A = this chain, B = another copy of it.
Amino acid sequence: MSESPSTDVQATLRFFLEIDKLKEVDRRNFLASSSRRENTAEHSWHLGIAAMIMAPFATEPVDLATAVCMALVHDIVEIDAGDTFAYSQSADELASKEAREQAAADRLFGLLPPAMGQRFRDLWDEYERGETPEARYVMAVDRMAPMLLNTVEGGTTWREHGITRDRVIARNGPHIEPALPAVWAQALAMLDAAAAAGKVATD
């Protein structure tokens, strides 16, 4: 149930300005150029584009509008919950991640007029559950993006955290390969070239 139009506009602008903070949430990986670490807002843009351009290689038919919107929305909770490193093995960090992200979704999507807030919440829930073709596809693209950036950048983040080629494959392959097998094959070839060049540890 929405309030007056002007209340809805005010709520919409408040949300628009609040999510500006996603530009200041840093991720672990660097840009392809190595100049600095990536932030979550620009990562989300890159995923939206990736969802558009990788669609021809997807194994399941996906609704592109849903996938692109999901890519843009799926990390907004990091404004409150922070970015959890993909290779984290901290039991505490992983255990608290869901509770932190649920609270973040309540607060952030709750800033929007109710109908729009529900739409964002539904997209985020769908992504988190991972049970639809669109959620599986966006999750594959979300794993693909930092894997590619880390590979071409020279593996700095992986070296910082002692992540080997085999762990990269074990962590990402199960999400990417079923959804985007041809893209996975090419990413793997690039990873192996980086390993052969001594940029990625092999044991």
Interface size on A, residues (CB 8 A): 56
A65 at the B interface (CB under 8 A): yes
**Chain A 12-33 residues near chain B, CB threshold 8 A:** 12-13, 15-17, 19-24, 31-33
Additional A-B contact list (14), CB under 8 Å, known A13-B148, A13-B190, A41-B42: A9-B182, A9-B183, A9-B186, A12-B183, A13-B186, A17-B148, A41-B45, A41-B46, A42-B42, A48-B48, A53-B112, A56-B115, A68-B68, A68-B72
Q: Which residues of A contact B (CB under 8 A)?
A: 5-6, 8-10, 12-13, 15-17, 19-24, 31-33, 35, 38-39, 41-42, 44-46, 48-50, 52-54, 56-57, 64-65, 68-69, 72-73, 112-113, 115-116, 119, 145, 148-149, 152, 182-183, 185-187, 190
